[in-house]
Amino acid sequence: MASVVAAEGAAAALRSVLSRAQQAAARSGRAPESVRVVAVSKTKPVGVIRGVYDAGHRCFGENYVQELIDKAPQLPEDIEWHFIGNLQSNKARALLAGVPNLNMVESVDDQKIANRLDRVVADLGRKPLKILVQVNTSGEESKFGVDPSGCVELAKHVKLGCPNLVFSGLMTIGMLDYSSTPENFKVCKELGIPEEQCELSMGMSADFEQAIEMGSTNVRVGSTIFGAREYPKKN
């Protein structure tokens, strides 16, 4: 019963988030469909995720490889999974093989993981995988991501040197000043990609409306939809 209540609550929260995201897009002069809400479901049970799916949502994000591999087969195949956590190169094959409907990896932050993903996609015969280059715009050592000064070089490497990957834009985490917006346009210009085709994953539960107003196309919203994280209790 508790899981049913949680699923219903999450579905209602999703509708509120979608409405707020659409209003933020309108305030910035953009169409509602220009913004994607990635419902971040880490630590949440499959039943609750299914409740949000049944409310019509299809885009979900996970942070941990094993958790996503466990959940994906239990849920409908038309879900578009985004992997948004730090990805170690030795787990790339398990992730891509275990989640056929993985739509995007948002957290590519060096050439090593880009090269590994490129090889695994080719080995598995998957269609080219969309990726975002993760940029550490806050300068916090605790955050992953390439330094802003290196993001153009990494984006070029993905676009020109990884034929099985599709460079789709940038992802930022932990930044406070939304400085990634001009950075995204700079990368697009360097690569000759129209700005409207360059995605920017920026903003989470606490700031997604402000991020959308500053140009974000993807917002990663977890606790506002699903409630507080549920980590196992330590003995």
CA 52 to chain centre: 17
Torsion sign across C-alpha atoms 169, 175, 226, 94? positive
What lies within 8 Å, CB to CB, of 213 at 6+ separation is 24, 27, 28
What lies within 8 Å, CB to CB, of 46 at 6+ separation is 71, 74, 75
**Beta pairing partners, 167:** 131
The confidence score (pLDDT) of residue 184 equals 67
CA nearest to 42, candidates 2, 77, 71: 71
Taking the CA of residue 117 as centre, how many other CA atoms within 13 Å lie in the half-sphere pointing to its CB?
Answer: 33
Per-residue tokens: 175:
């930044």
The confidence score (pLDDT) of residue 81 equals 98
| pLDDT (tens digit per residue) in 52-96 | 999 999 999 999 999 999 999 999 999 999 999 999 999 999 999
Q: What is the pTM of this model?
A: 0.92
What lies within 8 Å, CB to CB, of 3 at 6+ separation is 45, 47, 48
CA nearest to 183, candidates 214, 208, 206: 214
The confidence score (pLDDT) of residue 195 equals 78
Distances (CA, A) of 207 to 6, 66, 67: 23, 28, 26
The confidence score (pLDDT) of residue 215 equals 87
pLDDT surpassing 80 at residue 159:
yes
pLDDT surpassing 60 at residue 115:
yes
Label residues 142-173 b or e (16+ Cβ within 10 Å = b). Answer: ebbbbebebbbebbebbbeebebbebbbbbbb
80, 102 contact by CB (below 8 A): no
- Interatomic CA distance for residues 172 and 108, integer angstroms: 11
The confidence score (pLDDT) of residue 30 equals 92
128, 164 contact by CB (below 8 A): yes
Residue 232 confidence class, pLDDT cut points 50, 70, 90: low
What angle (nearest 5°) sits at the alpha carbon of residue 137, between those of residues 135 and 142? 85
- Interatomic CA distance for residues 196 and 188, integer angstroms: 9
**Beta pairing partners, 130:** 104, 166
- Interatomic CA distance for residues 204 and 221, integer angstroms: 5
**Topology of the domain covering 1-221:** TIM Barrel (3.20.20)
- Interatomic CA distance for residues 84 and 55, integer angstroms: 23
Per-residue tokens: 181:
């917006």
Residue 205 confidence class, pLDDT cut points 50, 70, 90: very high
The confidence score (pLDDT) of residue 154 equals 95
> Domain extents for the chain?
1-221
